[in-house]
Amino acid sequence: MSPTRQLPLGVRVFERGWLSANNVLLQDADSATLVDSGYVTHQAQTLSLVTTALQGRPLARLVNTHLHSDHCGGNHALQAQYPALQTWIPPGLSHAVQDWREADLSYQPTGQNCPAFSFTHLLQPGSTQRWADMDWQVHAAPGHDPHSVILFAPEHRLLMSADALWQNGFGVVFPELAGVAAFDEVAQTLDLIERLDPATIIPGHGAVFTEVAPALALARSKLASFAQNPERHARYGTKVLLKFKLLEWQRISKADFCGWAMKVPYLNDLHQRFGQGLSLDTWLDMMLAELARSGAMHEHEGILHDA
């Protein structure tokens, strides 16, 4: 749990481990709103955290900052638990959700899982929402995801930055993995955050923090490095995708893991563009070796173990 001394009354952060994004519970006398719902394999923990915190009160609203699997994988379970739940999503992929097109929703391209969910409202950039007795401005924040939003409460200078800014960087720039230029959008979103001038940030991953200027400086430094060397970002993104799946499975035979990886569209695209002429299996071996050297996994007798 993140420290509440930095947060106004009615704002509670469930700081989650990797696989799941942080969840933010906003409560006032009338209703409760949850921002982001974690990954599907953590859905039981998400339900437990929410129901325990609400102490019998209903959850009125579920809000997604964007539709990556680690931010909305608990939507289905929460909708089943709270049948009257309103679900608010950014508008960019609403038709893909309505028709449940996994290829457009990133789940099939990344090899990740997300149970089908529905939505009732669109979270329009430029709008202001009233949750936990405070106004929240909805700002478009493309870069990491073209359709992502961030949420800012100016009265408290409190920002939910999703994956646009963490204390140690920002999320993988997924459009770049698909060959779509988006580093400039990351820079524009960082500029937006600086203009909003938050005093406290609730990131999509990691602890609540107040050292905003150093975080922005670090993010810009990382962005400049990636923009100057797109292959470096591609390798980073590749290892993030591999590590995410290892986190989900914990242990799996190398043969089965590579069999999965060879079917993942993003990994195939990255190999074609940045594989330096190596075969796909050799390139995957190289990426796994880099993860092992960093301490993110280890291999023993043909079994990959998350670390």
Q: What is the pLDDT of residues 286-296, one digit of tens each?
A: 999 999 999 99
How confident is the model at residue 93, as a pLDDT?
Answer: 98
Fold of 4-228: Metallo-beta-lactamase; Chain A (3.60.15)
Q: Taking residues 51-60, what's their average pLDDT?
A: 97
pLDDT the model gives residue 18: 86
Banded model confidence at residue 6, pLDDT cuts 50, 70, 90: confident
Euclidean distance between CA atoms 77 and 304, whole angstroms: 30
Residue with structure tokens 């960087």?
169
pLDDT band at 241 (very low <50, low <70, confident <90, very high): very high
Q: What pLDDT is stored for residue 13 in this prediction?
A: 98
DSSP H helices in the chain: 43-54, 69-72, 75-81, 94-99, 107-110, 174-177, 183-196, 212-228, 230-249, 254-261, 265-274, 280-293
- Stretch 123-127: mean pLDDT: 98
Percent of the chain whose predicted confidence (pLDDT) is above 70 = 98
In 3-state terms the chain splits into helix, strand, coil percentages (rounded to 5) of 40, 20, 40
Residue-level pLDDT at 3: 43
Q: Does 181 score more than 80 pLDDT?
A: yes
Domain 230-306, second-level architecture: Orthogonal Bundle (1.10)
**For residue 1, what pLDDT band results from cuts at 50, 70 and 90?**
very low
Mean pLDDT of 171-197: 97
Evaluate whether 4-228 and 230-306 have a shared fold.
no
> How many other CB atoms are there within 10 angstroms of residue 168's CB atom?
13
Are 190 and 149 spatial neighbours (Cβ–Cβ below 8 Å)?
Answer: no
Q: What is the pLDDT of residue 20?
A: 97
**Domain extent listing, the chain:** 4-228, 230-306
**Predicted confidence (pLDDT) at residue 281 exceeds the cutoff of 90:** yes
> What mean pLDDT value characterizes the chain?
96
